[in-house]
Amino acid sequence: MNDLYHLAYVSDVQLVEPGQTVDEALLQWHLQQILDAAKRNNGALQITGALLYSGGHFAQVLEGPQTAISDRYRRISQDTRHTNITPLIYEPAEERQFANWSMVLCGPGEVHGLPSDFEAKPSPGSVEAGDLGKSIVASLAEAMGQRSFT
Ligand SMILES: Cc1cc2nc3c(=O)[nH]c(=O)nc-3n(C[C@H](O)[C@H](O)[C@H](O)COP(=O)(O)O)c2cc1C
């Protein structure tokens, strides 16, 4: 059986204490820390995926074996560097969209076709959540497809 699942969620970035100003260098350092941990863990778990950081929000897609995905998501959703973590889709996937990346960070400039309110938090399990999740997977996959050709 092909045990391939994918999961997408959106969340609000919380890299500094409320009221603290976010210095660009500090922000980049935090993002790199997240990416380093993701790469370190995901490879061993056969997880691949993409992380979008845009306008104070994250959107992330994880793909891989079902148990690995749900375990990692549980860990990620307890991370205090983000909040309001809202799952959008968690379902079998036909193929990997991010096979080349244990985790890749995408910037807003290279991602097109996302709803402008991608950070909206639809009720988990709703049609809106499913639609947004699919749109996030497609937009990030498209962006990363472009990147591999440049
Ligand atoms: C937005 C965001 C995305 C993350 N993505 C991943 C990920 O894909 N894989 C992962 O292992 N950890 C990810 N993390 C980090 C985990 O929450 C956690 O800090 C890390 O897995 C702990 O790794 P360690 O046990 O090696 O220290 C993410 C954290 C945040 C805030």
Q: Where are the domains of the chain?
A: 5-148
Residue 18 alpha carbon to ligand 1 centre in Å: 21
**Ligand 1 centroid – CA 32 distance (Å):** 11
Task: Give the pLDDT confidence of 57-116 residue by residue, as tens digits.
Answer: 999 999 999 999 999 999 999 999 999 999 999 999 999 999 999 999 998 899 998 988
pTM, full prediction? 0.95
* Residue 104 in contact with ligand 1 by CB distance below 6 A: no
Structure tokens at 149: 């050709």
Q: What is the mean pLDDT of residues 113-138?
A: 93
Taking the domain 5-148, which CATH number applies? 3.30.70.100
The torsion angles phi and psi of 38, rounded to 5 degrees, stand at -60, -45
The answer to whether 87 and 7 have CB atoms below 8 angstroms apart is yes
How far apart are the CA of 42 and the centre of ligand 1, in A? 9
